[in-house]
Structure formats: C-alpha cells, structure tokens
C-alpha cells in the first residue's frame, strides 16, 4: 500500500494506492473518523461501474456500519451538468443526508467533479471521498479539490474548491477502462514527467509500451500512479487556488484546448494535450529554453503511448486560433505558455507572441 499525504492549512488527507483496496474502504473511513456522527453515505457512479464494482464498495461500507444509498448517472462529459447535480441533490434530500453525512464518487473525472461540487454545496458543504476509476482521475482529477460542472457555453465554468477527505485508488479497476481513455490519460502522465519528475520520465522511457495497460507491469503501474499523485499533491500544496505554480499543470493545454475545441471534441482531451505538449516543446526549443534531444525524448514517449504528435488536417488552423483567442490563458493579447526547460522542470511564460504561435501551428500539421 502506498499512501501519499496531502496537507493544506485546513485539510489533511491521504491518497491511498493499493491493488484490490475497494473492499477495505469502509474500514478506512472508520479509521479516519469519517461518518462518526452520521452513518449515511450517498454513492454516486455510472451504471457500468456500479455493476462491476458497486457491490464490493457497498458491502465494505455496510460491513463498517454505514447506511448506503446509490445514485447512478449516465456517463459522458455531456452529462456534467447542473441537471445531473440536481439529481444528486434530489438523492441527498430523499435520503436525508445530514451535515455530517458523506458522499462518495466512484468514477472518472466527470463523476468526481460533479459529486465534489454537490458535496461542496449541499448544506453548504459536506464531506466527500474520491474513488477514481479512470487513469485520468487517478493521476489528476480526483486530487486537489477542484470540483465543478459545465455551462452550456463552456467547460467547467461553474465550480468550487472542495477538498476530498480521502482518495482511494484501486489500480485493478483500470482493467475495464477503454483503451482510448487509457492512452489519453497517458498524456497527463507524460506531462508530470516533463514538468516535475525526471525519475518518472525515465521510468516511462524504460517501459516498453505505454499504450495499453497489459504491457505495464503492476509494480511499474503502482510507481507511475504514486509519482503522479505525489506530483499533483505537491503542486496543490504549494498553490491550492492556482495563483501561481499550479499553472504548470497546464503544460500542453494552451494549444491542446484550442485543438480540442476546434475539432469539436473529436480529438479528445488527452490526444489534444499530447499534440499541445509537442508544439509547446517546439516553442521552448525555438526560444532556446530546451534542447532538441529533450524534444526527441518527449516525442518518443508520445509515440510509445500511441498518441498523436501532429494536428490532423481536418482541424482548421483558423478555428484553433479562434479557440485560443477565447481561452482563459490569454493575458493582454499575448499567450501564456508553460514551457519545459529540462526533463522534470518547466516555467510559466506570459508573453509568447501570437506570431510565433501561428508559425508553430503551421508546422504542427507536419508528421514527426
Ligand atoms: N478536478 C480536476 O482537477 C480535474 C482535472 C482534470 C480533469 N478534470 C475533469 O475530468 C473529466 C474527464 O475525466 P475522465 O477522463 O475520467 O472522464 P470520464 O469521467 O467521463 O470517464 C471516461 C469514461 O470512462 C468510463 N470509465 C471510467 N472508469 C472506468 C473503468 N474503470 N472501467 C470502465 N469504464 C470506466 C466512464 O464511465 C466514462 O465513460 C473532465 O470533465 C475534466 O474537466 C478535472
Ligand atoms: Zn488535462
């Protein structure tokens, strides 16, 4: 069992990573004094995940004396809405969740963000626990307390900071995760290697293939998850509310978001981030911050994860530029980029000229 602690002035919680830990969640909550005053728990998930993993969790929770009700929401980003959160409130109301009751999110980033937001706002804030089931939520979304939902006009426009009381990661559940989701999340794993953890980068370099779970040895997976959780936790501890260094996590995301939006989400988040990292790496190289050798090493990892490294011709450049223009990351006409400086380190640069970005986008369509 690996425990990564996350300590903030007002909160302290553990990120626990352990194969087959689902049946032990109830005991772990009790050990941490959760549910002492109220045994009521609302478990929020998707039908598929409840079918496969729900009973393990429910048995464990009831065995530890909790009274569990479940809510199953349809999967998909398009359901990350106020309407779904309303359903969580309705369930909370129907089951008389009290100020000291608990919500548990069993799912990927969508379930985690929505359940966290419902917990942040129900009775002005109740405790919640993250049981992430996708690779992306294990390494990123479940850690750090950003919760929220989408507005019809934009992603994650509504939200709150609300830290979970525990993050409970069972790597075995990744066995049912679709391959495309796995690969997309690998982009974020590579990101941590570039911006934060050179050892993680080397570990990925030493792994034969990164495109499918079955090629990754269980102990390697454990170390990857641990290193990513440590990176995310450390960055959040330094800068909980994203006033400074937390922005490093946006490496690959400036252009990435532009491509994701311009493709009308046909290119998913991780795929777009992979291309965004390659292009940011080229900008860094152009500015003399980062070497060609480092760029090639990054390309090699992206290839090993079977992620794209070039912008598909079907995504028009003017649509990407337009999306970049409306992106939050623009500061006074110039673009904000996270640029790598060496393997394991990156810097925030606020004054990248739109001309340089256009130039890099133009060559970004060429295969590499
Ligand atoms: N809060 C944060 O800090 C943060 C950070 C990054 C991303 N996010 C958010 O996370 C969301 C993306 O998360 P995601 O990629 O996990 O998407 P997701 O939650 O939609 O999950 C992807 C798909 O995989 C399925 N799935 C999840 N785990 C599974 C498993 N073990 N077996 C089979 N199927 C499984 C889900 O049902 C879904 O269909 C976005 O909404 C994004 O905004 C939040
Ligand atoms: Zn991301």
Taking the CA of residue 132 as reference, the ligand 1 atom at the shortest distance is 28
In this predicted model, what pLDDT tens digit does every residue of 315-359 receive, in sequence order? 999 999 998 886 544 445 678 899 999 999 999 998 898 889 999
Q: Which residue has the CA at smallest separation from atom 16 of ligand 1?
A: 108
Residue 290 is classified by DSSP as S
What is the pLDDT at residue 119? 98
Q: Per residue in 177-188, is it b (16+ CB within 10 Å) or e — as a string?
A: beeebbbbbbbb
What is the pLDDT at residue 244? 83
For residue 84 and ligand 1, the question of a CB distance below 6 A is answered with no
Taking the CA of residue 188 as reference, the ligand 1 atom at the shortest distance is 6
Kindly state the average pLDDT of the residues 200-224: 98
Q: Please give the order of strands across the beta sheet that includes 2-7.
A: 2-7, 12-17, 166-169, 127-132, 102-107, 40-45, 67-72
For residue 144 and ligand 1, the question of a CB distance below 6 A is answered with yes
The alpha carbon dihedral of 30, 172, 106, 235 has a sign of: positive
Instruction: Report the chain's mean pLDDT, rounded to a whole number.
Output: 95
Residue 2 φ then ψ, to 5°: -110, 135
| Contact of 86 with 98, CB cutoff 8 Å | no
Q: What percent of the chain shows pLDDT beyond 90?
A: 88
Kindly state the average pLDDT of the residues 4-14: 94
Mutate to test the pocket of ligand 1, among 109, 158, 184, 225 (most ligand atoms within 8 A of CB): 109
In this predicted model, what pLDDT tens digit does every residue of 11-28 receive, in sequence order? 899 999 999 999 999 999
Query: What is the rounded (10 degree) CA torsion for 221, 222, 224, 227?
Result: 180
Strands annotated E in 46-198: 67-72, 102-107, 127-132, 146-151, 154-161, 166-169
Find the ligand nearest to 192 CA. 2
Q: Which residue has the CA at smallest separation from atom 4 of ligand 1?
A: 141
Kindly state the average pLDDT of the residues 195-201: 98
For residue 134 and ligand 1, the question of a CB distance below 6 A is answered with yes
Q: Per residue in 328-337, is it b (16+ CB within 10 Å) or e — as a string?
A: ebeeeeebbb
Residue holding tokens 């090493």?
A: 297
What is the pLDDT at residue 328? 47
Would you please indicate which residues are annotated as catalytic (active-site) residues? 124, 146, 188, 232, 242, 246, 250, 253, 257, 269
Over 90: is that where the pLDDT of 219 sits? yes
In this predicted model, what pLDDT tens digit does every residue of 252-272 receive, in sequence order? 999 999 999 999 989 999 999
Mutate to test the pocket of ligand 1, among 112, 136, 272 (most ligand atoms within 8 A of CB): 136
In this predicted model, what pLDDT tens digit does every residue of 35-82 receive, in sequence order? 889 999 999 999 999 999 999 999 999 999 999 999 999 999 999 999
Over 70: is that where the pLDDT of 156 sits? yes
Spatial separation of the C-alpha atoms in residues 256 and 244, rounded to whole Å: 20
For residue 75 and ligand 1, the question of a CB distance below 6 A is answered with yes
Mutate to test the pocket of ligand 1, among 141, 189, 231, 267 (most ligand atoms within 8 A of CB): 141
pTM across the whole model: 0.96
For residue 113 and ligand 1, the question of a CB distance below 6 A is answered with yes
Find the ligand nearest to 73 CA. 1
């Amino acid at each position: 069992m690996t425990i990564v602690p996350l300590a903030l002035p007002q909160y302290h919680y553990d990120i626990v990573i352990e194969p087959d830990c689902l049946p032990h969640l109830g005991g772990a909550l009790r050990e941490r004094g959760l549910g002492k005053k109220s045994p009521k728990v609302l478990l929020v998930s998707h039908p598929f995940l409840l079918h496969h993993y729900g009973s393990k969790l429910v048995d464990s929770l009831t065995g530890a004396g909790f009274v569990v009700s479940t809510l199953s929401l349809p999967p998909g980003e398009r359901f990350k809405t106020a309407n779904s959160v309303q359903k969580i409130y309705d369930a909370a109301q129907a089951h008389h969740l009290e100020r000291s009751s608990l919500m548990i999110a069993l799912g990927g980033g969508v379930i985690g963000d929505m359940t966290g937001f419902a917990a942040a706002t129900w009775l002005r804030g109740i405790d919640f626990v993250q049981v992430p089931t996708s690779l992306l939520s294990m390494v990123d979304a479940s850690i750090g307390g950003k919760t929220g939902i989408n507005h019809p006009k934009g992603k994650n426009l509504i939200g709150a900071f609300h830290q979970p009381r525990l993050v409970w990661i069972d790597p075995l559940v990744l066995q049912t995760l679709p391959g495309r989701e796995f690969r997309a999340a690998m982009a974020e794993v590579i990101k941590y290697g570039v911006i934060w953890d050179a050892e993680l980068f080397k570990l990925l370099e030493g792994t034969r293939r990164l495109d499918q779970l079955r090629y990754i040895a269980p102990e390697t997976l454990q170390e990857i998850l641990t290193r990513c959780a440590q990176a995310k936790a450390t960055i959040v501890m330094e800068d909980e509310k994203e006033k400074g260094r937390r922005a490093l996590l946006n490496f690959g995301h400036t252009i990435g978001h532009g491509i994701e939006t311009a493709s009308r989400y046909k290119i998913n988040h991780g795929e777009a981030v992979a291309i965004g990292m390659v292009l940011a790496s080229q900008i860094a190289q152009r500015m003399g911050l980062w070497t060609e050798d480092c760029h090639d090493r990054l390309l090699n990892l992206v290839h090993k994860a079977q992620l794209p490294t070039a912008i598909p011709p079907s995504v028009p450049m003017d649509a990407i530029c337009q999306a970049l223009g409306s992106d939050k990351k623009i500061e006074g006409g110039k673009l904000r980029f996270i640029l790598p400086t060496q393997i394991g380190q990156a810097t925030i640069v606020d004054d990248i000229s739109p001309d340089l970005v256009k130039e890099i986008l133009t060559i970004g369509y060429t295969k590499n």
